[in-house]
A and B are shown apart, each in its own frame.
Chain A
Amino acid sequence: MKRVELLVSTLLLCVLFVGSAAFAEELTGEEILARAKFGGELKSEGSLIITFRSESKTTDGTTTADSFVGFSKRTEEGTEFLLLYFLDVGYNSGSILLMETPEQETTRQWYYSPEWDLLRELDVETQGQSFGGSTFSFQDLGGYDLEGYYTAEVIGNERLVVGEAERMAYVLPLSAKPQEELDFPTAKMWIDKETFFVLRVQKINPGEEVEQTVYEVLALGEFDGAATVDHWLEYAGNGSPRTIIILERRRPEDEFLDEVFDSENLVLFDPAEYGF
């Protein structure tokens, strides 16, 4: 279950980490951190379908695979929709999570349980709470900023092999700001010099030794002419599963109708119409 929550949170974060890929040089650690982004960009103008597959290997050797499909759209009025369909996620298969974020407004969310055949709106009061047991809060989902949590300095550049490509990356040691209590109070981060994608994160223990690689991009992709991160590894530590995540994205044949994202219609949503 927690595995599923982690994946969902990752997916949602992907939506929200939109940073500038502008060329820059002689940037400070803080500036680089401000531009850094995780995972792939899922948001784009118009409609988008993202399949999201994960393979998790637990410490006892068990392997599980889950898959989701995200249907996203940005309307002309600036409202963003994301419908997350739980395609093959164990007991939660068939569940739907819908998010609607009108421009400059708070996100509304609905959950549909196929087993109970019940639709319930998630109360906005929960927005400040932890999301799915992670250190991310619902507020973070609306704009998690690394530089808000960490201080960083550039200690050099390093050439990394990412899939079949070689990438030059800034190397930044991160330290949690004094008031912040984070899962990873100290970490080391490699950020692509060109795209500002975070390519690798290592958790550093108090003895300044590498404790774990908690995030690593395994391959870069391309969509609509821009670089994307669609294949990466995540590890939350403490006995949690090591997860490899693969994203695929495509444009639907036709733009999604607004009705697709109407909460009242969730009960009728059929992924088969989109080939799933």
Chain B
Amino acid sequence: MSEMEGGIVKKFLYVNRKAPYGTVYAQESLEVVLIGAAFEQDVSLAFIDDGVYQLAKGQDTKALGVKNFSPTYRALEDYDVTKLFVEKESLEVRGLSADDMVVPVTIMGAQEMAEYMNGQDVILSF
């Protein structure tokens, strides 16, 4: 945590562990990230376990009849949310790689991710 002229700046980590569409958590957590961006905190997003599916390329929800929110991850950069970390092990067991992600991400091993998580001030997990 640090004090800036505008007030307190905390390290916020959003932990995403759920796949999209099966439940609403991924979509509504992205809404929190977008609103939260206005608060000028030190934000990062972690994608672990089925959460990595949120970023999978090729999502097409037309036949399902719900909104495809995966393009929104590409808009995060405009909100100055640029720290997107994807757990290496989670990708591997799902047969995915960085090339399969809709946005540029940083791949991080679980051990490194655990260290990173440890250094946060606020963790929001969905």
A binds B: no
**Which residues of B does A touch, CB under 8 Å?**
none
